Structures are given as C-alpha cells and as structure tokens.
Structure 1
Amino acid sequence: MTIIVRELGSEVRADLEGFAAVRHSALPFFLITRDSLAYDLAHMHADARYRPLVAEEDGEIIGTAQVGLLHESPEPGQAFVNVYVHPEHTHRGAGTQLVRAAEEYLAAQGATRLLAWVLDEPGNRVFAEAHGYRASRSAHFLRLDLANRALPPLGTPPPGVELRPAADFADDPRPVFELDAETVADEPSDAGAELTDYEAWLDETWRHPLIDHELTTVAVVDGRPAAFSLARTDGATRYASGMTGTARAFRGRGLAKLAKNDSLHRARAAGYTEAFTGNDTGNEPMLAINKWFGYEVCATEVRYVRELG
C-alpha cells in the first residue's frame, strides 16, 4: 500500500475531519475540531509559515503533522514539527515520510532549530532519536473528572478583588491581552515567546472558536485584570484550560487558583464533564494548584530538539 504525504486541503471537509480524527485518536486529551482547525488555517500569522501535512493511505488520512515557524520567539530560526499517526496505522512509514517532508519545508523557510512534542512512550522516543532529535524538557497532560469529582468550594474573593467573565471585556479586550502577554513571557519553554502583536492575538486567541468568553474568568484588582483562567471547550462535554496565570505584581495571593476554581464551577454547571490542562513538569506551583483541584496526570510528552545544518 502506498502512502502519500501532501499539504492539508484547507477547504476540503474530508481533509479537516480526517486531520482532526487522527489528532483526537493519538492525543485524546487535546481539544481540536474540524472548525477549530479550519479557523487556525485561515488566521495563523503569515510569519508562522504554517503548513499542516497529512499522510494518506488508500484515500484515508492516517497521519498528520503541524509544521511552522515559532515567529513569536525572540530567537530567530525556531520552528515546530509535531507528528501524530493514528494508533491503528503505525509502523508503516507514515511518520518517517511526514518528518522528512516537514524538515525539508522548514529548512527552506530558514529554520535552524526544530522542536517537536513526543508522547513519552518507548516507541515514540526511539523514533524521535532515530531521526536525530534529542530529548529536552517534558510536560504533563492532566484530566479532571468534572462529572464525578467534587471541586473545592467557591471562596469569597478578598477585599478589592472581583471575579468577572472575559465576556465583560468584549468592548476592549486589550487589558486581557496585556495580562496574557505577561504570563506567556514567564512560561517555561525551550524557545520562549513574546506576545507583541495585539491584532494577531485577537485573531489567534480572543476570537478563536474554542475560546469560551463566558467560562473564562478574570480576577480584577482595583479595575485591573490581575489573573485569569482561559477556558477552551468543544461545545459539548470537554473543557480545557488554555492558560492560567497571574501578573507579576499580584503573584503569591492565590488569584490564579481563585479564577480557575470559578471557571471550573461554571463549566460543570454548563454541562461539561471532563476538564483537561497541561503543565511543564518543572512548573511546580501550577502542578500543585491542579492537584488541589483533583487533576490527575493522564499522559506525559517530551520536547525533542534537532539542530539543522
């Protein structure tokens, strides 16, 4: 059987559904839908040179690759290549062909350092190392059973603190952008990121179809957003934390925990039954908060790095 690697058809319904299905099968704790994938393709920043690839066998999509430049990194030449093959179609060469096509494309775009997330399983790690990648940091996927696990009781915000849904900032979301930019800058990472383009953030984050502005909670102190918990949902049963963080001047006061607890309670009331999140394994403060909520590690992934040239 012949495997063909090609670019994803951005307006081909079967391609979008096939890509999303493979990702869901290989990475069930990460939210992706046909509509969110189509939105990403239409709104990804031009500097990312984003080019998703698919591996097709007898007309069926069995593998995917997210490929592009980390244009928000202060260090030029950083790129990402994340390859996933449907669990029922591994060991057929699809992964190797996807990696080869992705590397050729990124090299042509000027990439000098490739970063890939790999599920922490022996076969996956052997595959990455056989292709010249070396292990770096790691991160956990965590799951919370919202339907059956008791959440910590809702606490009363301390004096001067107000919990508000992100929808309250619909007329002017810039304060939320500034808070997000500050927290992203301090997030553990191999490449780092600097959010400086407000219009791009509006397209890629604020208006993203998975973002739920009513379930996203912002802790406001004296009129200023100080902490937040960004909610992403599939519109059915699955909820995920896109980012939870606190501005530097307000850290150590439990505001992120307060915001996330509020968001989780409202998500459960809205009918969501599973909550997912992810944390760098070195991010002990956030891991402790999630353990307090009742999250349990459901998988671990390792960042692999390859230098080109």
Structure 2
Amino acid sequence: MEIRPARPDDAPALVALRAVVYPYLVRGVESTRKMISEPPPGENWAAFVAEIDGRLVGWASSYLHASTSEPGFGEISLLHVHPGYRRQGAGSALFAACVRHLRQAGARRVRTFALEQSLEYARRRGFEPSRAVHYSALPLRPAPAVPPTPPGVRLVPLSDLDPMRLYEAHVAAAADEPGDVAPDANSYESWRYGVWTDPGLDRCASVAATANGEIIGFTLVTRDGERMWSEMTATLPQHRGRGLALLVKSAALQRAAEGGVTVAYTSNDESNAPMLAVNSRLGYCRVATQWSCLFSR
C-alpha cells in the first residue's frame, strides 16, 4: 500500500471511488481536478490517496476553514475507502496523514463526518458526535411543479447576476445557518473560488428570486452529468416565511430536469426544520445520515 498526496490526474478515479462509497455526493471530474490542482485559497488544503497494487482505493482531505473567524478550526473531509479494500489499514493511514497535516497547519479544533456505523471508529480517535446531517434524493421524472411567483418577485438565473451581489446575499443568508462553527469570515475570494468559478456550477439551473432589483432568495445547483447537488438554498432573513425557498428550489429542479438531470441530491442539518420541510414537500427521500464529530486538543 502507498499513501501519497493526491494529483490532478487522480480526479477520474476519485470520482469513480466516491460514486461507490458515497453515491449521494456530487462532484464531477473537472471540479475535483480543480480542487487538487488549485487548492482553495487560505485553507492550507491537502489531500491524500491510498493505492494498493497501483489501484486508487482511498481518499481523504484536510484543511483549515477560511470561512470562520474561529482560529485553527480544521476538518478531515470525506475519508473513504473502497469496500473491497477495507480492513487493510488504508483508512487509518489516510487519517494519520491528515492529522499530521493539520498539526503542522496549527489546527486547534477538528471536525470530521461519520456514518452511524463509523461512529465507533471516530470515537476511538478522540472524536465525539455533534450534529446529524441528513442526505436526501429526488428523482426528477417528472420534476416537482413550480408554485406561482408572488407579485413583485422575479426569477433570475445565475447567468444574469453580478457575482458580488450574489456573494453579499449569500453572506447575509448564511449568518444563522446551523452548524458547528459560525460562517462569519467568508471572503469574496474564497466564495468566488468555491461557488462562482466551480466548473460544476450550473448557472442556468441555479436561480435567484429578486424584488426591486435586490436578491431576496436563491438556490445553487452543481452538476455532474445526470446528477445534481443543491449546494445551498436560502432566503434573506427579512423575506422568510413567504415560500421563496420552495419557489427557487422547485424552479431550479425544473430547469435542471429540462437540461437532462434525472436525480437531485441535497443535505440538511437535523435542526434546519424549515428546509427539511421544503424538501419533504418537494418529494425528497432520505438516503443517508452522517454525524459531524468534533475533536479538541
């Protein structure tokens, strides 16, 4: 077995591995290649792969969150090993590589995510479960009906929006998003890298609701072939309770279906009752639950 840093040409094999281990997660080859070749700014990001007999069988990444003011908040993200190669030490070796990287980067508190059956593995390494995150899927044949647009509201594709205006709306809407850390330091540079220039962003299916020229709600769609991921659906605080999240998300699902998407995936924190209700109304069905797990030194 070899543990080594990930390379851009690993992207196709990584996407294929993710489809086996986490079929409900959507990140295409070009998005994965970009992440490896041009790591996110300000995050001290690093990724490692496990190879056995020349076959890529495992992957994990680690980084410091640049979107929070909490210093040294790190993450070990998406550690996964092909089912046919488990219990051979690949997962432990990848975990150790990520821990070494985060120590060198100065991490003080670290988060990872684990399925229910992996919680004991996480506990043995000093992590304790914090929050449940539910993953859901929705077949788009047919897509849900789009509700009527309220008077004075327009639906606009991202392709027609100024990125700075969308960034400002994103920051305002995410201020009270549930999670383990406050998303209170997301710079425009980081947001532009993670959202606006993502090769997987579908600018036609992603939709914003506007009123009087201002963005009041939006949903972001990333895509890999016939699969899509709802990156974020949000309404600005002063406009909540008007059904705008349901409106923009159903409009995006319909646009995506018209563009050839056959299944949509999303995730929600267990405490985010409003979005869970929206997804339930749209017909999403739960396919997995992961727990965020925290380690503090």
- TM-score above 0.5, yes or no: yes
Deviations along 1:108-163, one digit per CA (max 9) or x if unpaired, are: 1100111001122x2x1121111111111010110001125x61x32221111011
In structure 2, what is the equivalent of residue 60 of structure 1? 55
- Is the Cα–Cα contact under 8 Å of residues 147 and 272 in structure 1 kept in the other structure? no
Q: Secondary structure at the match of 2:46?
A: coil
Aligned to 2:42: 47
Structure 1 residue runs of 5 or longer lacking an equivalent are none
Q: Does structure 1 residue 260 correspond to structure 2 residue 249?
A: yes
Distance (Å, rounded) in 1 between the aligned partners of 2:76 and 2:42: 16
Q: Distance in 2 between matches of 1:175 and 1:72?
A: 18
Residues 51 and 66 in structure 1, CA contact (< 8 A), matched pair in contact too: yes
What CA distance in whole angstroms lies between the structure 2 residues aligned with 1:91 and 1:190?
30
2:57 corresponds to 1:79: no
Runs of 4+ deviating beyond 4 Å: none
Amino acid at match of 1:71: A
Of residues 262, 266, 269, the one that matches 2:258 is: 269
Query: 1:204: how far off?
Result: 2.1
Out of 135, 147, 153, the position equivalent to 1:155 is 147
1:293-308 equivalences in 2 (<5 Å): 293-308=282-297
Paired with 1:43 and 1:203, the residues of 2 have a C-alpha distance of 9
Offset at residue 59 of structure 1 (A): 1.0
Corresponding residue for residue 4 of structure 1: 2
Unaligned runs of 5+ in 2: none
Which of 117, 122, 125 is the equivalent residue of 1:128? 122
How far apart, CA to CA, are the structure 1 residues paired with 2:100 and 2:81? 19
Q: Which amino acid aligns with 1:273?
A: T
Match of 1:167 in 2: 159
In 2, Cα distance between equivalents of 1:116 and 1:196: 20
- For 1:187, what is the secondary structure of its paired residue? coil
Figure out how many residues of one structure are paired with residues of the other and give that number: 296
Which of 135, 150, 154 in structure 2 is aligned with 1:141? 135
Find out whether 1:220 has 2:210 as its counterpart.
Answer: yes
Cα shift at 1:60: 1.0
What is the DSSP-based 3-state SS (H/G/I as helix, E as strand, rest coil) of the residue aligned with 2:59?
strand
CA distance in 2, matches of 1:118, 1:264: 28
CA distance in structure 2 between the aligned counterparts of 1:230 and 1:162, rounded to whole angstroms: 16
Q: Normalization by structure 1: what TM-score?
A: 0.92
CA RMSD in angstroms, aligned pairs only: 1.4
- 2:67–2:187 CA contact under 8 A, matched in 1: no
* Contact 1:43–1:203 under 8 Å retained in 2: no
Structure 2: distance between partners of 1:116 and 1:248: 29
Amino acid at match of 1:237: E
- TM-score, with length taken from structure 2: 0.96
How far residue 186 of structure 1 moved from its aligned partner, in angstroms, is 1.7
Structure 2 residue aligned with 1:33: 28
Q: 1:193 aligns with which of 174, 179, 183?
A: 183
Kept after mapping to 2: 8 A contact 1:43/1:204: no
Alpha-carbon distance in 2 for matches of 1:43, 1:194: 24
**Is 1:180 the counterpart of 2:175 in the alignment?**
no
